[in-house]
Amino acid sequence: MIPRVKQYDAIMTDATRRDMGSTGANDLVRELRLFNLEIERYILRMSHVHAMHRTDLSAIGLVMDRGGATPKDIAEGLNLSPSATSAMIDRLERAGHVRRERVETDRRSVTVEITEQALAVGSSMFGLLARHMRGVLDEHSDDELAAMAALMERINAAARAASEEAGSAPGD
């Protein structure tokens, strides 16, 4: 854990401390921010190694997590314009990472599906990260991991709620 910054403590007012909650909660929020930073740093490095756009990796992850997605789902999930989404899907399709599939019940609609190639690239990209994280996670019992997973689910829901409350991004 990184030591607390003294200047940060000096600018904190009592009211701000009350709003932020306990020291333990503050430390956890700080560690979550640092985790997010490290994940972003890792993904950026891997995007350079594999000569892919950062947004492309996010799109592949979104489609994988959902087991397929419509272009509209991708645009909304990544906060992209329809034209940017279409260009990205074209790029991913040319690279062999996704394929467009017509929806059987509505031939005008398409879903974007992940290819085996994307799964192989994803495995090579995130295997290293997973191995390092697994080393830490293996130190905990299944019950502890279940409690952590439940906490993270609630934290993610809180982050989504904050994002929705914050409103639309400029240009939306």
CATH of the domain at 69: 1.10.10.10
Residues 77 and 22 in one domain: no
Domain membership of residue 155 (yes or no) is: no
Residue 170 lies in a domain: no
Predicted local distance difference test score (pLDDT) of residue 134: 96
* 80 lies in the same domain as 96: yes
Q: Are residues 57 and 45 in the same domain?
A: no
Residues 62 and 98 in one domain: yes
| Token pair 């430390």: residue | 27
Number of domains in the chain: 2
Compute the average pLDDT of residues 152-161: 94
By residue range, what is the domain housing residue 39? 1-49
Residue 135 clears pLDDT 70, i.e. is over it: yes
pTM of the model: 0.68
Phi, psi dihedrals of residue 95, rounded to the nearest 5°: -80, -5
Residue 139 lies in a domain: no
Asked whether residue 146 is domain-assigned, the answer is no
Q: Which one has a higher pLDDT value, 11 or 65? A: 65
Asked whether residue 128 is domain-assigned, the answer is: no
Cβ contacts of 26 within 8 Å, gap of 6 or more: 20
Query: Does residue 126 lie in a domain region?
Result: no
Percent above pLDDT 70 for the chain = 84
Residue 110 in tokens:
């398409």
Mean pLDDT of 19-38: 86
Residue 169: per-residue pLDDT: 56
Tell me if 167 is assigned to some domain.
Answer: no
Instruction: Say which range, 52-56, 72-76, 81-85, has the weakest mean pLDDT.
Output: 52-56
Query: Same domain, yes or no, for 85 and 41?
Result: no
For tokens 């399709």, what's the residue?
93
Q: Specify the 3-state DSSP secondary structure of 93.
A: helix
Question: Same structural domain for residues 58 and 108?
Answer: yes
- Is residue 138, in this structure, part of any structural domain at all? no
**Could you tell me if 57 and 32 lie in one domain?**
no
* Spatial CB neighbours of 81, under 8 Å, sequence gap ≥ 6: 75, 171
